[in-house]
């Protein structure tokens, strides 16, 4: 496993180049990078200041429970916390936490496929498909969607439970399901949906011990997963009561169509087409080589319960990914409430890749069965090279700040109070600059009325409407109602006459100008205090 870990670490550096070349200053271009860094830094901050208020993030003041407006990334936050506490630069922490799960997911799939086939070559090919398929590049800005490591490990633990009847493997199965939920809620729900019927199917077929010996370990794992998942769901249930179900239009927009499994990111070297960029989150092509190997795995070997299980996972993941365009999801949406809180069914595409990867491992094993070591090595080298060529993608990187402009350091040395940064984004231009502002708040950690997440609270949207006409009387009343102490006005959005008018209005309203700031062309203006 050490050698395999080194291989996937090296492949991740190569396949995700040039991120590794600029580890402390560059990341993928997207506003969710700011959101990722805010979440990682908030968890690290809350763990040492007020862990019982972990979900009460400092954004969208005075809204409570704001971390539960999106995936909290608890596992990622805990893993990253020591780096943050040690003063490692935020963007470097971000990139480590983005690349680490990609390599780890490849290694986890290697372990699962090697166990099922007895072939390290099969494990390598399956790991490459799972770690570097176009889906990874499509979601390079979505940190939680890279944390797939626990799903193949859960399936590996399930197989070991049924093979040995040992309690430790049953517990490991439940722990991996829980860790998947704590890493990515989407994947946790998807994994839990698939693994229960998978366990039933395998329990009546692919087991080496009497089924009675497996009931206790599997039940213990189920109790563990249900307990941890249930506790984790409490803040989300409270938030769901406030924000409601995902709109049907959103679910339709982020569900797959069958043709999307032929789409790739336009930056893909081999298949990409800049003239046909495709729809975001719907570029789901798994690769031609892995599909051909999976077909070989289904046709060239004697069917087993294990093979059938992965075929069923493949079919179910594909079908449910179609959302209301399929048959299964409408039933789940109606009768399983947790699915009404999810909007992007196309994210099941990674489970399609996972099932294909296992079946491809079976395919490789069938193709080289009885062949010499030299032939097997040659075949795996050629297939691995072809797969990596299929997945090679040109990455567009941009610089993100590791430090905050001086005005935020000034805030950090002022008495604690609520901050409002103006102007706020227009309703039809969300999220505007609020992801940046949420990230900047991590350098002083005051509550802010601005914010960014997967859901926008109704109170925030109403606040935007009332602050839209700042600095009129209605907007000033809103700031007072929110107990705002510091008003940070960014001058780039206003003309000079408008700025002078704002300063006059705020002074007349009894606010005190702390000072002007001019850190860059994009970051200049002035800071006011209400007391």
* Secondary structure (DSSP) of 397-431: EEE--SS--HHHHHHHTSPP-EEEEESPPPGGGTT
**Whole-number pLDDT of residue 397:** 87
Question: For the chain, how many residues are written?
Answer: 531
The encoded tokens of residue 454 equal: 């997967």
Q: 185-203 vs 305-321: helix axis angle to the nearest 10?
A: 150
With CA atoms as reference, report the closest residue to 420 among 339, 368, 480.
480
Q: Which helix (H) or strand (E) holds 513?
A: strand 512-518
504 vs 470: CA distance, rounded Å? 13
In terms of phi and psi (left: phi > 0; alpha: psi -120 to 50; beta: otherwise), the region of 212 is alpha
The encoded tokens of residue 326 equal: 């399929």
With CA atoms as reference, report the closest residue to 495 among 406, 427, 423.
423
**Whole-number pLDDT of residue 315:** 97
396 vs 400: CA distance, rounded Å? 13
**Whole-number pLDDT of residue 211:** 76
Q: Which segments in the chain show pLDDT lower than 50? A: none
**Whole-number pLDDT of residue 522:** 60
The encoded tokens of residue 353 equal: 């890749």
**Whole-number pLDDT of residue 303:** 83
The encoded tokens of residue 94 equal: 């971000």
Q: How many CB atoms lie within 10 A of CB 499?
A: 15
Q: In what order do the strands lie in the sheet with 484-490?
A: 418-422, 484-490, 524-529, 512-518
Apex CA 132: angle with CA 128 and CA 137, to 5°? 175
429 vs 344: CA distance, rounded Å? 21
**Whole-number pLDDT of residue 275:** 60
**Whole-number pLDDT of residue 207:** 63
285 vs 397: CA distance, rounded Å? 23
0.85 exceeded by pTM: yes
Q: How many CB atoms lie within 10 A of CB 168?
A: 14
Pairing of strands 484-490, 418-422: parallel
């Amino acid at each position: 496993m050490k050698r395999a870990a080194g291989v996937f670490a090296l492949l991740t550096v190569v396949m995700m180049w040039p991120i590794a070349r600029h580890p402390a200053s560059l990341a993928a271009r997207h506003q969710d990078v700011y959101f990722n860094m805010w979440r990682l830094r908030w968890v690290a901050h809350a763990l040492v200041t007020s862990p019982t208020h972990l979900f009460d993030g400092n954004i969208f003041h005075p809204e409570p429970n704001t971390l539960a407006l999106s995936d909290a990334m608890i596992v990622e936050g805990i893993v990253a916390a020591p780096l943050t506490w040690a003063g490692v630069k935020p963007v470097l922490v971000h990139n480590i936490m983005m690349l680490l799960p990609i390599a780890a997911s490849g290694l986890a799939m290697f372990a699962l496929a090697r166990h099922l086939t007895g072939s390290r070559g099969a494990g390598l090919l399956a790991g490459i498909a799972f770690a570097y398929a176009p889906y990874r590049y499509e979601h390079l800005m979505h940190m939680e969607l890279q944390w797939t490591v626990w799903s193949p490990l859960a399936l590996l633990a399930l197989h070991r439970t049924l093979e040995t009847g040992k309690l430790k493997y049953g517990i490991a199965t439940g722990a991996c399901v829980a860790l998947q939920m704590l890493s990515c809620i989407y994947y946790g729900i998807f994994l839990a949906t698939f693994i229960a019927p998978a366990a039933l199917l395998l329990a009546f077929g692919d087991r080496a011990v009497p089924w009675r010996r497996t009931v206790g370990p599997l039940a213990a794992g189920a109790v563990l997963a249900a307990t941890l998942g249930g506790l984790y769901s409490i803040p989300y249930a409270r938030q769901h009561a406030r924000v409601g179900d995902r709109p049907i239009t959103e679910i339709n927009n982020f569900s797959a169509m069958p043709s999307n499994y032929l789409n790739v990111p336009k930056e893909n070297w081999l298949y990409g087409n800049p003239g046909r960029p495709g729809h975001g989150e719907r570029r789901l092509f798994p690769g031609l080589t892995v599909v051909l190997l999976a077909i070989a795995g289904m046709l060239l070997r004697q069917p087993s319960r294990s093979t059938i299980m992965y075929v069923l996972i493949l079919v179910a993941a594909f079908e449910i990914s179609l959302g209301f365009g399929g048959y299964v999801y409408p039933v789940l949406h109606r009768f399983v409430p947790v699915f009404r809180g999810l909007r992007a069914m196309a994210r099941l595409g990674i489970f399609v890749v996972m099932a294909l990867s296992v079946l491809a491992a079976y395919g490789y094993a069938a193709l080289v069965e009885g062949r010499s070591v030299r032939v097997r090595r040659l075949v795996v080298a050629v297939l691995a090279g072809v797969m990596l060529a299929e997945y090679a993608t040109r990455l567009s990187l941009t610089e993100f700040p590791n430090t905050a402009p001086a005005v935020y350091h000034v805030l950090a040395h002022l008495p604690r109070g609520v901050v409002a940064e103006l102007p706020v984004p227009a309703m039809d231009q969300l999220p505007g600059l609020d992801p940046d502002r949420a990230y900047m708040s991590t350098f002083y950690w005051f509550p802010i009325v601005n914010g960014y997440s997967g859901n926008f609270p109704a109170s925030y949207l109403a606040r935007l409407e009332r602050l839209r006409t700042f600095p009129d009387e209605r907007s000033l009343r809103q700031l007072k109602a929110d107990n705002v102490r510091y008003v940070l006005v960014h001058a780039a959005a206003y003309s000079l006459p408008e700025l002078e008018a704002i300063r006059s209005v705020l002074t007349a309203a009894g606010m005190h100008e702390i000072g002007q700031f001019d850190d860059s062309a994009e970051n200049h203006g002035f800071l006011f205090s209400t007391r």
